Amino acid sequence: MLKVPQHQVAGHEAGIGKLGPLVDESGRFYKPLQGDERGASEVAFYTSLSTNSGIPEHIQRFFSTFYGTQLVEASDGSGLLPHLVLEDLALGRVNPSIMDIKIGSRTWAPEAPEKYIQKCLKKDRESSSLSLGFRISGLQIYRSKELGFWKPGKKAAQKLSREEVKLVLRRFVSSNTLNDLDSRPDCAFASTVYGGSTGILSQLLELKAWFEDQTIFHLYSCSILVIFEKELALKGKNPGAQIKLIDFAHVYEGRGVIDHNFLGGLCSLIKFISEILTAPNECGIEVSAKADQKNLTADNGVVADHKNLTDSDNGVVAIQKNLTTSDNGVVADQKNLTVSDNGVLADQKNLTASDDNCVVADQNGVS
Amino acid sequence: MLKVPQHQVAGHEAGIGKLGPLVDESGRFYKPLQGDERGASEVAFYTSLSTNSGIPEHIQRFFSTFYGTQLVEASDGSGLLPHLVLEDLALGRVNPSIMDIKIGSRTWAPEAPEKYIQKCLKKDRESSSLSLGFRISGLQIYRSKELGFWKPGKKAAQKLSREEVKLVLRRFVSSNTLNDLDSRPDCAFASTVYGGSTGILSQLLELKAWFEDQTIFHLYSCSILVIFEKELALKGKNPGAQIKLIDFAHVYEGRGVIDHNFLGGLCSLIKFISEILTAPNECGIEVSAKADQKNLTADNGVVADHKNLTDSDNGVVAIQKNLTTSDNGVVADQKNLTVSDNGVLADQKNLTASDDNCVVADQNGVS
């Protein structure tokens, strides 16, 4: 019996009259083949993956297992349609927190049709892709049994500003996401999820080493899915932090050139994650000591240029007022935060409710 | 007494009625300030360089020494104009071979004016920037006392195709550039110029490590200048291989994000150079063993898709006919090439004049 997946955060969602992916109980994920050349391209990619010996074994684990294609009853009721059959990445996971991060400042290949290029370029410029080298295409963060997930709308997620992306990457590994309006992401799970020899950063670095060398594929509009289970982390168990590469409708031959577009974006993501690990209590806001950082600091010491952060229309909101900066530009008033040996905040009770709020509000609630 | 520099390979050239850079005998390079914000931006960058402590000492050597600005008689006879005063990178060099490589698949910042973005995007798409992550903006390769330099026109250099760029990077460190029509670049100086602990690759890797971390600057349309002296290499002396970063008219604040665009392009260049070092006798043509490399191999075993290589109009030409490929896709008929221990071709006399020509022709001669 096929059903709509519970934990999809980006891409087309299945529903009444809507064509989207399905899952079965044995752990297979059915992705409807896009009718145009994108579908064919993705099938070709997965087929070549399973036959191409150019991909080393330790890298193959970053791709979903591929079980071929199959005609199944489409989710929109339109009858039998060909689907890609893949491994269901959420299988066996209870309440996984998931981010879908589209890698690359450019989501289009030089060889793509002009109309498609213009469409993608517009999206890249309107999202954080161009400035950060990646954009968050969708996410869900588990909060608690009662509150369920924090899951901003897809459009909202894609329009996160640079500072909001920083906050979301911290919030993703934080324990204090219950009462969102008065909390700073504490990054309580940063060291267990992002850090460690099997954590997200370590996996990203492995992927990076491969992308510095591989000239087989150029992956445009491809995502890295980041998954872990907060409940396991809370119990002190291995949270099952894992990355997977997904979405290969726009794969091109590398023809002897590395995928510098993917690699650049990947390095940018790595830098963001590294910074969380080295400074988990900085709340995602970094104000450099550079003298000419003219757009960042207003006269009264308040961090300016955050106009998007107070815009509550898009379902992902941050209210960020009166953030005072110290002389060296680093967010001040963190003195009450006690930090444990492993860099994780130990005692959240000492967090004073100061004027220095740094908040991601939750306007969406459970989705 | 100011004069026109002898070894400029890209950018504006000084001449009668033409505004361009000048040099003096004491080793200073005078670059006219561009009248618009680009000039101001470059001055601001160099000024911040000399005061910004964020750049580690081992990285500062990749920038030219800055001596402030000065009003000097402009090269076009238009009177006194403000110039940037920099170190003359060609000072003390006899017949240097030089490449100016513009780094980044994108030469424009997200914040740039729309008209400028469109202009740059067009150039990026028409050159190798988009596909390779960099483009050769200009070059001169020293051949001999009699023949002087091989110096293709600037426009020609910028329009080099992927395969031509590979060939030029090999030709740059080759000894057999005298009779260009019947030679394959031998990469005789690859190990001494590109390789070694102080060679070009090592310097590029140092720069890369910094770009993986630094979030101070984003450098658009910035170039890496690669210099060495072939005559010294021929004499078995240190060829003075060196890279320098130049052209900072489009520098933006990094604001906490790495320069993923520059980094991606830099990694791509690094991969090209590495490949020359690991396979100096492959003549720049790599045909992968991938089954679906459909565009590369024509039915008769002749490498297809090289239509640009026979186009002799642009002043940089390659004639590449009958290049037969062996079963594994690697260019065959290299059996007569003997290779010395260090990977450098030892005995060029054994090179047979076979049908498998792989030639970069010299249509321009001495410039």
ipTM of the complex: 0.77
Interface contact A263-B267, CB threshold 8 A: yes
Give the span between the Cα atoms of A73 and A83, in whole angstroms: 9
- Across the interface, of B54, B254, B267, the residue whose CB is closest to A260 is B267
Look at A57-71, A115-129, A181-195, B2-16 and tell me which has the smallest mean pLDDT.
B2-16
- Give me the pLDDT at residue B8, please: 81
- Give me the pLDDT at residue B295, please: 29
* Banded model confidence at residue A283, pLDDT cuts 50, 70, 90: low
Residue that is written with structure tokens 């004016």 in the block: B113
Give the span between the Cα atoms of B95 and B108, in whole angstroms: 33
Residue A253, pLDDT > 70, answer yes
Residue A159, pLDDT > 80, answer yes
The alpha-carbon gap from B210 to the nearest alpha carbon of chain A, in Å, equals 12
Residue A197, pLDDT > 50, answer yes
Identify whether the C-beta of residue A243 lies closer than 8 Å to the C-beta of residue A204. Answer: yes
Residue A105, pLDDT > 80, answer yes
- Across the interface, of A110, A286, A289, the residue whose CB is closest to B131 is A110
pLDDT tens-place string over residues A254-269: 999 999 999 999 999 9
**Average pLDDT of the segment spanning A237-252:** 96
Percentage of chain A beyond pLDDT 90 is: 57
- Give me the pLDDT at residue B203, please: 98
Chain Cα centroid distance, residue A301: 32
| Residue B141 CA: distances (Å) to CA of A98, B155, B162, B229 | 53, 16, 19, 9
Interface contact B255-A288, CB threshold 8 A: yes
**Largest interatomic CA distance in chain B:** 65
Identify whether the C-beta of residue B318 lies closer than 8 Å to the C-beta of residue B309. Answer: yes
Identify whether the C-beta of residue B231 lies closer than 8 Å to the C-beta of residue B142. Answer: yes
Identify whether the C-beta of residue A30 lies closer than 8 Å to the C-beta of residue A83. Answer: yes
From the candidates B267, B269, B273, B295, which should be mutated to test the interface with A, based on the most A CB atoms within 10 A? B267
Interface contact B293-A212, CB threshold 8 A: no
Encoded tokens for A121: 């370029």
Closest to A302 measured CA to CA, from A334, A273, A275, A324: A324
DSSP string covering B135-153, please? EEEEEEEEEETTTEEE---
- Give me the pLDDT at residue A119, please: 97
- Across the interface, of B261, B270, B286, the residue whose CB is closest to A264 is B261
Chain Cα centroid distance, residue A68: 27
* Banded model confidence at residue A365, pLDDT cuts 50, 70, 90: very low
> For chain A, what is the radius of gyration of the CA atoms?
21
- Across the interface, of B52, B263, B292, the residue whose CB is closest to A290 is B52
Question: Which of chain B's residues have a Cβ under 8 Å away from the Cβ of A166?
Answer: 256
Interface contact B292-A106, CB threshold 8 A: no
Residue that is written with structure tokens 């670049």 in the block: B185
DSSP state of B13: P
**Largest interatomic CA distance in chain A:** 65
* Banded model confidence at residue A15, pLDDT cuts 50, 70, 90: low
Q: Which residue of A has its CA nearest to B53?
A: A290
- Give me the pLDDT at residue A176, please: 85
Residue that is written with structure tokens 């023949």 in the block: B147
3-class secondary structure, B174: coil
- Give me the pLDDT at residue A59, please: 95
- Across the interface, of A110, A162, A267, the residue whose CB is closest to B260 is A267
Interface contact A253-B295, CB threshold 8 A: yes
Q: Which residues of chain B have pLDDT under 50?
A: 181-182, 284-367
The alpha-carbon gap from A32 to the nearest alpha carbon of chain B, in Å, equals 24
Encoded tokens for B314: 């642009």
- Across the interface, of A110, A130, A264, the residue whose CB is closest to B125 is A110
The alpha-carbon gap from A257 to the nearest alpha carbon of chain B, in Å, equals 6
Residue A107, pLDDT > 70, answer yes
Encoded tokens for A306: 């955050």
Give the span between the Cα atoms of A45 and A43, in whole angstroms: 5
Give the span between the Cα atoms of B130 and B184, in whole angstroms: 27
Give the span between the Cα atoms of A188 and A138, in whole angstroms: 22
Interface contact A260-B265, CB threshold 8 A: yes
Give the span between the Cα atoms of B259 and B249, in whole angstroms: 16
Question: Which of chain B's residues have a Cβ under 8 Å away from the Cβ of A261?
Answer: 105, 133, 264
| Burial letters B139-163, b for 16+ CB under 10 A, else e | bbbbbeeeeebbbbebebbbbbbbb
- The chain A residues in contact with chain B (CB within 8 A) are 44, 48, 52, 54, 105-106, 110, 125, 130-133, 162, 166, 212-213, 215-216, 253, 255-258, 260-261, 263-265, 267-268, 270-271, 286, 288-293, 295-296
Total residues belonging to chain B: 367
The alpha-carbon gap from B217 to the nearest alpha carbon of chain A, in Å, equals 10
- Give me the pLDDT at residue B340, please: 33
The alpha-carbon gap from B234 to the nearest alpha carbon of chain A, in Å, equals 31
Encoded tokens for B29: 């390079």
- Give me the pLDDT at residue B319, please: 27
- Give me the pLDDT at residue A341, please: 34
pLDDT tens-place string over residues A20-46: 999 999 999 999 998 778 888 899 999
pLDDT tens-place string over residues B261-306: 999 999 999 999 999 999 877 654 433 333 333 222 222 322 223 3
Between A189 and B323, whose confidence is greater? A189
The alpha-carbon gap from A94 to the nearest alpha carbon of chain B, in Å, equals 34
Q: Is B79 left (phi over 0), alpha (psi -120 to 50) or beta?
A: left
Cβ-based contacts under 8 A for chains A and B:
115
Give the span between the Cα atoms of B169 and B360, in whole angstroms: 12
Compute the half-sphere exposure of residue B281: CA atoms within 13 Å on the CB side of its CA: 18
- Give me the pLDDT at residue A53, please: 62
Q: Average model confidence (pLDDT) for chain A? A: 78
| Residue A232 CA: distances (Å) to CA of A68, A176, A339 | 33, 16, 22
Encoded tokens for B212: 């993986």
A96-103 and A223-229 strand pairing: antiparallel
Q: Which residue of B has its CA nearest to A263?
A: B264
- Across the interface, of B253, B256, B288, the residue whose CB is closest to A256 is B288
The alpha-carbon gap from A197 to the nearest alpha carbon of chain B, in Å, equals 20
- Give me the pLDDT at residue B191, please: 96
Give the span between the Cα atoms of A174 and A171, in whole angstroms: 5
B80-87 and A316-319 strand pairing: unpaired
